[in-house]
Chains A and B, each alone.
Chain A
Amino acid sequence: MADKKRYGFVIDISRCIDCRACQVACSLENSVPLNHTRIWIHDQGVQGTFPKLSRTFVPYNCMHCEHPPCIEVCVSGATYKDPNNGLVLVDQEACIGCGFCVEACPYDARYLDEKLGVVDKCNGCIQRVEIGQKPACVATCLGGSRLFGDLNDPASDVSIALKNAKSLFRLDIEGKDIDTDPNIYFINAPQSLTSLVTSDAFKQQGQAVPREPKYTISEEGWKKVLVPAIAAGIGASFLVQATYFTKQLIEGEKEFDE
Chain B
Amino acid sequence: MPNTLSRRDFLKVGGAALGALTVSRFVPPRVVAAARTAGLLDQNGDGYIPTMCEMCVWRCGVLAKVEEGRVVKLEGNPDHPNSKGKLCARGQSGLMNTYDPDRVLTPLIRVGQRGEGKFRKASWDEALDVVAANMLKIKEQYGAQAMIFSSTHNLSQVQFENLLYAFGSPNYGTQRSLCFNAMVTAFSLTYGIEEPSRDYTSVKYILLTGRNLLEAISTSETSDLMDAVARGAKLVVLDPRFTKTASKATEWLPIRPGTDLAFILAMINVIVTEKLGDCEFTARYAVGCDKLPAHIAFYTPEWAAKKTGIEADTIRRIAREFAAAMPDALAHPGWRTSNFINSFQTERAIATLNAIVGNVLTPGGCLNAENPEASGITLGKPSQPPYPRLSSLRLDGVPWKYPLVPLKLGVFQELRDAVLTGQPYQAHGWFIARQNPVLSLPDRQKTLEAFGKMDFIVTVDIIMNDSAWFSDVVLPEASYLERYDPLLPVSGKVFIRQPVIEPQGEAQSALWIYKQLGERLGLGDFFQYQDEEDYIRQQLAPLGNYSLEELRLHGYVEPPAKEKSQEITFNTPSGKVEVYSETLANAGYPALPTWEEPPSPNADQFYLLTGKVGQHTQMGTQNNQLLHKYEDYPRLWMNPEAADKLGLKDWELVEVTSEVGSVKVPVQVTPAIRADCVYLTPGYGHLSKGLRTAYGDGVSDSVLHVTYVDPVSGGQALSQTFVTVKKA
Contacts and interface: CB of A to CB of B under 8 A. Distances in A.
Given A19-B214, A46-B672, A91 B223 contact: no
A54 interface: yes
Contacts of B5: 123, 126-127
Contacts of B9: 31
B623 interface: no
Contact of A19 (B3, B4, B8, B217): B217
Complex A-B, nearest 8 residue pairs according to Cβ-Cβ distance, in ascending order = A24-B92, A55-B247, A19-B614, A31-B8, A17-B214, A50-B671, A21-B89, A143-B226
Interface string A211-245: 00000000000000000000000000000000000
Interface string A13-25: 0110111110111
A141 B630 contact: no
A95 to B, nearest CB: 9
5 contacts: A19-B214, A20-B89, A21-B92, A24-B630, A48-B671
Contact of A23 (B72, B625, B630): B630
Interface string B664-684: 000000111011000000000
Q: How large is the interface on B (under 10, 10 to 19, 20 to 34, 35 or more residues)?
A: 35 or more
Interface in A39-92: 46, 48-51, 53-56, 82, 89-92
Contacts of B300: none
B252 A51 contact: yes
A28 interface: yes
B438 to A, nearest CB: 27
Interface of B: 1-10, 12-13, 72-76, 85-89, 91-93, 95, 214-215, 217, 219, 222-223, 226-227, 230, 242, 244-248, 252, 254, 614-615, 625-627, 629-630, 639, 641, 670-672, 674-675
Contact of A31 (B10, B89, B92, B223): B10
B244 A142 contact: no
Given A31-B10, A50-B254, A50-B639, A144 B230 contact: yes
B92 A28 contact: yes
A50 B252 CA distance: 11
A226 B629 CA distance: 26
A89 B614 contact: no
A33 B14 CA distance: 9
A34 B630 CA distance: 10
A231 B557 CA distance: 61
B89 A55 contact: no
A25 B75 CA distance: 9
B222 to A, nearest CB: 5
Contacts of B217: 19, 142
B227 A144 contact: yes
A155 interface: no
Contact of B93 (A24, A33, A89, A127): A24
A32 interface: yes
B242 A55 contact: yes
Contacts of A50: 242, 254, 639, 641, 671-672, 674-675
Contacts of A32: 13
A27 interface: yes
A93 B6 CA distance: 9
Given A55-B242, A127-B7, A33 B226 contact: no
Contacts of A56: 247
B76 to A, nearest CB: 6
